[in-house]
Structure 1
Amino acid sequence: MLIVVSSAEMLENEPAAINQLFAAGLKLFHLRKPDAGEEEIRNLLTAISEEYLPRVVLHQHHLLAGEFGIHRIHFKEAERRKLTASDYSIMEDSGLVYSTSVHSPEAYQSLNQVFRYAFFGPVFESISKPGYTPEKEMKAEFGKYRSTKVIGIGGITEANAASVLENGFDGVAVCGTIWQSGNKVEAFEKILMNLGIVN
């Protein structure tokens, strides 16, 4: 599984680039804009081709999901810690697909099974967040018996993407390596090729 996470900032011609990535075979796109207002996110979603919206995962302004027919929601770690047993019960019955982020194998082990997959990182020094480095060597200490898949994130490039899967992760998520590239589709396709994923 190869996931692309948006740039944290709004970019020029971003909707066109997102549509091109989907057309090139992108399965899941995480829309993460921590400082963007609801209207900015709405405008961006409006510019994404309707056929691709079911593959978008919202990181904030979750109420927009119903407006755009999006059924994938991501909880950052701080938000997840505030969830109650009642929240989890509602989530289980919602029919939505949930993901979250963790930064230690212990946090992963304690996850509620409502989360389909979790980002774990950084596995390498982050490209989009300079100075954000792994606390220890990347290794799969996750317990593969769990239903929640583990997606490596942070510093993943064409050169090292395959090693993430070799270390026991279920997939990879990329951000900076795509958005800081001159040709975003070409960068995406190179990672796909190195992962051995055929569209």
Structure 2
Amino acid sequence: MRVITLNESSKEEVRTLRKLLEWPGIYVHIRKPLITEVAFGRYLSQFSEADRPRLITHQHYAIALDNGVAHMHLPAHARAGLPAASPGVYASTSTHGWDEFNQLGTAFRSAFIGPVFPSISKPGYGTHQQLAFTGRTNFAMQAIALGGISAENIGALSGAHFDDVALCGAIWQARDPLQEAARCYQLLQVNHRSSKHDIQ
């Protein structure tokens, strides 16, 4: 399960993320478009060296690498700027339809794809252009479902077309972010077990 940060930083956010990183299979996407390089370095310093391999940064890639964060996420318009592949560096990107996703090359290990439901954190986004749940032909990388995912609808995403999910608004707009994350996490584990059973 992927968790996307808020645009703004806070001590409470970092405390929540550190708790989430104690759970197996949790990855944190640091998406803070306005953060300065200095503030970004300070932000990363709040995570232990053990946590950093499961952080994925959307900005300041050189600083991230210097701080042990080797996972980088590039938006669609920045894919041409993908740094040369090197051992241990992981790259992901964002897509908005199966045609775009299916055409991605092997430089990327995973990609967001969505919106699968109307956005929670961006009201109105995804209302008229929701992604079809079928159409995937590229299985060389992970497909990460994104957009409007919560405990109420996460069960609809089981099956072969999505490998994982990314959450933002469902967690940060909940009264208790950790409790909402736990609900989604548990349901996702059930979905994965059911999918494996169906395949067998």
Q: Fold match, TM over 0.5?
A: yes
SS at match of 1:57: strand
Q: Which residue number corresponds to residue 51 of structure 1?
A: 50
- Aligned partners of 1:189, 1:48: CA distance in 2, in Å? 21
SS of aligned partner of 1:196: helix
- Which residue in the other structure is 1:131 paired with? 124
User: Structure 1 residues 126 and 136, CA, compared in 2 at 3 Å: closer, same or farther?
Assistant: closer
**Which structure ranks higher in relative contact order (CA pairs < 8 Å, sequence separation ≥ 6)?**
1
Q: Show the 5 A alignment for 1:150-165.
A: 150-165=143-158
Q: Given the alignment, which residue of 80, 100, 103 partners 2:96? A: 103
Of residues 133-142 and 58-67 in structure 1, the stretch that sits farther from structure 2 once superposed is: 133-142
Whole-Å separation in 1 of the counterparts to 2:29 and 2:54: 9
What is the total number of aligned residue pairs between the two structures? 190
Q: CA deviation at 1:12?
A: 4.3
- Counterpart mapping for 1:20-59 below 5 A: 20-25=19-24, 27-59=26-58
Unaligned runs of 5+ residues in structure 1 are none
Partner of 1:5: 4
Distance 1:176 1:136 in 2: 17
Do the aligned partners of residues 12 and 95 (structure 1) sit closer, same or farther apart at CA in structure 2, a change above 3 Å counting?
closer
Larger CA deviation: 132-141 vs 34-43: 132-141
Question: Partners in 2 of 1:6 and 1:189 — Cα distance?
Answer: 16
Give how far 1:49 is off.
Answer: 2.4
With normalisation by structure 2, the TM-score equals 0.87
Matched, 1:179 2:190: no
Q: Is the 8 A contact 1:18 1:48 kept in 2?
A: no
Of the candidates 164, 168, 171, which is equivalent to residue 161 of structure 2? 168
Q: Does 1:122 align with 2:104?
A: no
Q: Which runs of 4+ in 1 moved over 4 A?
A: none
Q: Within 1, Cα distance between the matches of 2:154 and 2:160?
A: 10
Structure 1 136/174 Cα, relative in aligned 2: closer, same or farther at 3 Å?
Answer: closer
Q: By how many angstroms is 1:181 displaced?
A: 1.6
Cα-Cα RMSD: 1.9
Cα displacement (A) at 1:167: 6.8
**Aligned amino acid, residue 97 of structure 1:** Y
Query: What whole-Å deviation, never above 9, does each CA across 1:135-179 have from its counterpart, x for those lacking one?
Result: 1453121115x3111110010000111211247211111011111
- SS of corresponding position for 1:127: coil
Question: Structure 2: how far apart are the matches of 1:94 and 1:140?
Answer: 33
CA distance in structure 2 between the aligned counterparts of 1:138 and 1:164, rounded to whole angstroms: 11
Contact preservation (8 Å) 1:73, 1:99? yes
Greater mean deviation of Cα atoms: 23-32 or 53-62: 23-32
Mapped partners of 2:120, 2:38: distance in 1: 28
Please report how far the alpha carbon of residue 130 of structure 1 lies from its aligned counterpart in structure 2 after TM superposition: 1.4
Deviation string 1:100-119 (CA, Å, 9 cap, x unpaired) is 00001111121111111100
